[in-house]
Structure 1
Amino acid sequence: MKIFVINPGSTSTKLALFENEKVIWAAGAHHSSEDLQHFHHVNEQYEYRRDFIFRLLAEAGIPIEFDAVIARGGLLKPTPGGVYAINEQMKYDLLHARMEHACNLGALIADEMAKKCGCPAYIADPEVVDELQPAARYTGIPEIERISIFHALNSKAVSRKYAASIGKHYEELNLIVVHLGGGISVGAHCQGRVIDVNNALNGEGPFSPERAGTIPADQFAELCFSGKYTLRQVKKMLNGKGGLIAHLGTNDVASIAHKAEAGEEPYKGVLDAMLYTVAKQVGAMYVSLRGKVDAIILTGGIAHSDYCVGALREQIDYLAPVVLIPGEDEMGSLAFNALGALKGELPLQVYHPQ
């Protein structure tokens, strides 16, 4: 079966064509700031991104004849995990999403492309997958509810991969999945549902290469009202200019880890502190699963770092076996989900948020 995968990022568009689970063509590009500066809102990039995709396919001589098209899910309303057929409600919610991101365009382009070749169009495990248990939603301020935004696609894909490797189904296991990337999410996967996870986008949990994580609320309130910063600047501190980049001026973890291994400060102290916050979050998810944990999976780009993995293992390996599945194969994960839906092995969900 031929499956076409679309993955729009904030400054890139990645494409791949699969035959079943084997990639037979991959392409994409980084979109320069000069190309994107003409667009005031992400939705305005639709035709630009769509035409870019059609152009690359034409240049490669690939006809638009697929069995399925699947896109990276966008910032929809909260919804359970799974494979979703793209419908009109989904398209409306993506066009009117509260948070702008290029990933919102993926399903819209996939739907147009699928209609051209008469095949189904899907998304799978978008970042807004919400399976939180009721107690995980509460905060001490009634007006503020915890929300679920995390690396759902990769976290669930590596969970299924690990389960298959031991002859089990994902729905049979309790796992803690640690996605280590520009943002860091640590989720408690209880028999196929992520019952608790830190909001990896907007200031909760571990700090990361680009994000501030949980910070002391009283001091943050004083900073917000100090008059020194605008709302936009404060939000950038939380996501984009927080974490390692705020402390060290770089988010290059490989370089930081090399210096940390040599004992160079402040690199060692800051990186070790970040990994300490990750380990603490693992401990919190261990409590969420009541200590019944089959494995702790380390994944994402930072999981390629021997230094970071070693430092984490020392702090968490007494809780449960630590499994290393480094990297983030979003394209392969999307193809896997589409193939499962086509074969009837993964149930097809209907997007209809409450």
Structure 2
Amino acid sequence: MKKNLILVINPGSTSTKIAVFKGEDCIYGDTLLHDSKEINRYETIYAQKEMRTSKILTWIKDKKLSLKDFCAIVGRGGLIRPLPGGTYKVTPSMIEDLKVGYQGQHASNLGGIIAYEIATDLNIHAFVVDPVSVDEMEDIARISGMPEIERKSLGHPLNIKAVTRYICDKLDKEFYNSSYVVVHLGGGISVVPVKCGKIIDVNNANEEGPFSPERVGGLPTGDVVRLAFSKKYTYKEFQKKIIGKGGLVGYIGTNDVRLIEKKIDEGDKKAELVLKAMAYQTGKEIGAMAAVLKGQVDAIILTGGISHSKRIVNWITNMVNFIAPIEVMPGEMEMLALAQGALRIINNKEKVKIYEEEVHLQNDQKF
């Protein structure tokens, strides 16, 4: 068993998911937990690198695996510059953008950094696959209505593209010659039209579209401005109302859909109305994205943790099944998706992308 294993690293805010794949088979998988007190000792995300790397290497040793058996290391892609989807070789320029958090600070920024550090010592390649900052939006979709603000492409591209590939195989469709509306139902809700393998529009789940367990989604702008200038909240407090204390948390006090469904089963009418409103807004957004595809939709795909809820899936289905058949893939397949991205390169099914050749700087100049 030499040089045929892939190590997959997916850092989260208080944990690091880790897996070892042989082909598409996961032979080991685990979640390394990080105590909040431990995390809070570090002033920046990047400062956590050594701690998380050490735990990963210890885990590998405990599994009695040899680092020499790995042919590639794959990390979750973070908030780097806008770029097309695909599998990218991690390069020094990408590392610099991950360090500073070019589009924001998030634990996923460490995925490529840790992968690169381990891979460099082993003289093998490090990759990231379909980072959060994948941007394939058409120019017309970028116009917001206010010249000072451009709509951004930020969502869940890794899982969205992975489940789309899976459904393509199931329906015997070509990934690059079919169209879908894909809905990621998680802490944020992303609704995207996928046309010929590209995510051509997206509601930035932090700012637009349906409200979700913790986020407000799109709001009436006039009321937002009045509330923001009411002097009731600091900037940070208002930000927290939008992301963290919005959505289901704001109305019901919890982001746990299972608890809310229990309340509904016990007769809580407010809980039912609010949860149904979230499904209603999601259905509306699906309709909008179907219009982007001019109604040429091979399937509507529901994925993410909340798609485990039959109640929510049924509410959404009843609104939109006139558009296209509904395919449900509960949960997420990010670890497998990361491994598959590396395998497509290793097996010469795709050409690896180079960050410096794909990203755009200000004035559309390249690195």
Q: Does 1:33 align with 2:26?
A: no
| Alignment partner of 2:316 out of 312, 318, 321 | 312
**Equivalent residue letter for 1:63:** S
Cα deviation, 1:206-234, whole Å, max 9, x if unaligned, reads 10001110001011011111111111111
| 1:154 aligned partner | 159
RMSD of aligned alpha carbons? 1.1
Aligned to 1:266, the other structure's residue is in SS state helix
Cα deviation, 1:149-178, whole Å, max 9, x if unaligned, reads 000000000000111112222111110000
| 2:365 aligned partner | none
| Alignment partner of 1:297 out of 301, 304, 309 | 301
| Alignment partner of 2:25 out of 4, 22, 26 | 22
Query: Aligned partners of 1:167, 1:43: CA distance in 2, in Å?
Result: 43
Displacement after TM superposition at 1:262 (Å) = 5.1
| 1:131 aligned partner | 136
Query: Aligned partners of 2:45, 2:117: CA distance in 1, in Å?
Result: 18
| Alignment partner of 1:218 out of 219, 222, 228 | 222
| Alignment partner of 2:181 out of 176, 188, 196 | 176
| 1:193 aligned partner | 198
Cα deviation, 1:257-276, whole Å, max 9, x if unaligned, reads 23335542211010000111
Q: Could you tell me which runs of 5 or more consecutive residues in structure 2 were left unpaired when the two chains were aligned.
A: 361-367
Cα deviation, 1:318-352, whole Å, max 9, x if unaligned, reads 11111111111111111111111110112211112
Q: Does 1:329 align with 2:359?
A: no
Q: Does 1:207 align with 2:237?
A: no
| 2:14 aligned partner | 11
| 2:363 aligned partner | none
- 8 Å CA contact 1:257, 1:308 repeated in 2: no
**Equivalent residue letter for 1:84:** Y
| 1:349 aligned partner | 353
Aligned to 1:340, the other structure's residue is in SS state helix
- 8 Å CA contact 1:261, 1:307 repeated in 2: no
Query: Aligned partners of 2:324, 2:17: CA distance in 1, in Å?
Result: 36
Aligned to 1:4, the other structure's residue is in SS state strand
| Alignment partner of 1:105 out of 101, 106, 110 | 110
Q: Does 1:72 align with 2:76?
A: yes
Count of residues in correspondence between the two structures: 353
- 8 Å CA contact 1:210, 1:243 repeated in 2: yes
When normalised by structure 1's length, the TM-score is 0.97
When normalised by structure 2's length, the TM-score is 0.94
- 8 Å CA contact 2:132, 2:155 repeated in 1: yes
| 1:145 aligned partner | 150
Displacement after TM superposition at 1:278 (Å) = 0.4
The 4+ residue runs of structure 1 with deviation greater than 6 A are none
| Alignment partner of 1:52 out of 49, 55, 79 | 55
Query: Aligned partners of 1:260, 1:188: CA distance in 2, in Å?
Result: 32
Question: Once the two structures are aligned, what percentage of the paired residues are identical?
Answer: 43
